[in-house]
Amino acid sequence: MKKLGLYIHIPFCSEKCPYCDFYSLKYSDKLIDEYVTNLNKKILSYSDYCADTIYLGGGTPSILGTERIISILKSIKTSFGNCSKETTIELNPESAKFLDFEKLRYYGIDRVSIGLQSSNQTELTLLGRKHSAQDVADLANTIQKSGISNISFDLMIGISQQTIGSLEKSIEFCKNIGAKHISAYILKIEKGTAYYKNKDNLKFPDDDTVCDLYEFMAQKLSSLGYRQYEISNFAMPGCESLHNLKYWNCEEYIGIGSSAHSFVDGKRFYYGRSLKQFYSNEIINDGSGGDEEEYIAMTLRLSSGLRFENFLKRFGCPLPEHYIKNAKKLLSTNLLFLDKDGIRLSEKGFLCSNAVIVEIIS
């Protein structure tokens, strides 16, 4: 059986965060019960794959409650086997406090990702988050007591009124409550969000300040023992997200749920952004994937970068010379490193990664 990653999308939230443009729906028991029933049917329709990484994301997966989550995990085991090296669930501190983590661990959950964003109450309020730092500390303690030690926290950079001092406290907060992994994202004001509609009345750090925050974050996390292995991701040794590494290495995965994306046999496809499209199995083709340019672009997001040996193994030929020539043109900018083993971006290059990658693959 072919091994691949499995992503399960749970598109429900108690309410929409003002900065979020992901597909999500207002929680109701009726909607969720209907969704989980259809989700399990879809999961059980598979039989040809073994999922060696599993990720329950959203939305807010923890809003389902323990028993619904367990029903999904049972369906996954029935169809995708018992070969997972890592099974992650995303948690919101408000709904997660009601979960039975000992039961979830018994049914396979061994990693959790908590949407902290900040430990500063003013910043949490500005982000529309309903939890406090103490709520998260209490939740982390409960999870650890259940035997799940692999905990990841999301942090956000570029929040209104954020300073290096407040960011440092958030980082130290994560370290002190046992974070094994930290994902740090730069806040973007997306069209259609409440933040976008109110952007003229909100004051956010300028680009230079955001760069300073990012550089400080990377250095601070490194000093605390977290290794940066991707532009936005830092982990204690051996605690990198195995599932997300599949995305960055252009490996295969199946996504099940409204708006969930898949990449199998060189083809990309996804379910539309509605329950109706998911229930009726309306799958939208998204073209081919995993070609040379995409592979280069994705692996350059990793701190290890594009390895020439890995490219040769994947495509059966050396990296074409014009990519190397393009990279050489950027050496004087200190945005990347080029040696006999490959190409990788510098910390400075990570800050403008999209532009650097475009220059290399153009």
**Sign of the dihedral through C-alpha 170, 171, 173, 177:** positive
The pLDDT of residue 194 is: 84
| Same-domain pairing of 160 and 39 | yes
The pLDDT of residue 189 is: 84
Condensed to tens digits (0 to 9), the pLDDT of residues 237-259 reads 999 999 999 999 999 999 999 99
The pLDDT of residue 294 is: 97
**Neighbour tally for 223: CB within 10 Å:** 9
- Percent of the chain, pLDDT > 90? 86
| Same-domain pairing of 343 and 207 | no
pTM (2 d.p.):
0.95
Average the pLDDT over 258-262 and give the result.
96
The pLDDT of residue 117 is: 96
| Same-domain pairing of 108 and 30 | yes
Looking at residue 64, its amino acid is L
The pLDDT of residue 199 is: 78
Condensed to tens digits (0 to 9), the pLDDT of residues 200-232 reads 888 888 999 999 999 999 999 999 999 999 999
Q: Is residue 124 situated within a structural domain?
A: yes
- Tell me the pLDDT band of 23, cut-offs 50, 70 and 90: confident
- Percent of the chain, pLDDT > 70? 100
The pLDDT of residue 246 is: 98
| Same-domain pairing of 223 and 327 | no
- Domain holding 73, by residue range, is 2-247
Q: Tell which of 247, 281, 313 closes a domain.
A: 247
| Same-domain pairing of 190 and 99 | yes
The pLDDT of residue 317 is: 97
Average the pLDDT over 257-271 and give the result.
96
**Could you give the C-alpha distances from 142 to 65, 150, 179, 338, in angstroms and in order?**
16, 13, 14, 46
The pLDDT of residue 159 is: 93
The pLDDT of residue 32 is: 96
Q: Is residue 150 situated within a structural domain?
A: yes
| Same-domain pairing of 60 and 123 | yes
The pLDDT of residue 135 is: 96
Q: Tell which of 247, 276, 307 closes a domain.
A: 247
| Same-domain pairing of 323 and 232 | no
Write out the two tokens for 51: 């999922």
Q: Tell which of 247, 273, 291 closes a domain.
A: 247
**Nearest-5° Cα angle at 215, 300 to 177:** 100
| Same-domain pairing of 229 and 321 | no
| Same-domain pairing of 303 and 220 | no
Cα 84 → chain centroid: 18
Average the pLDDT over 138-148 and give the result.
97
Q: Is residue 96 situated within a structural domain?
A: yes
| Same-domain pairing of 243 and 121 | yes
Q: Is residue 266 situated within a structural domain?
A: no
Total domains in the fold of the chain: 2
| Same-domain pairing of 242 and 334 | no
Q: Is residue 290 situated within a structural domain?
A: no
As a whole number, the mean pLDDT across the chain is 95
| Same-domain pairing of 158 and 231 | yes
Average the pLDDT over 255-283 and give the result.
95
CATH of the domain at 114: 3.20.20.70
The pLDDT of residue 38 is: 97
Q: Is 253 left (phi over 0), alpha (psi -120 to 50) or beta?
A: beta
Write out the two tokens for 163: 């300073």
The pLDDT of residue 13 is: 86
The pLDDT of residue 186 is: 92
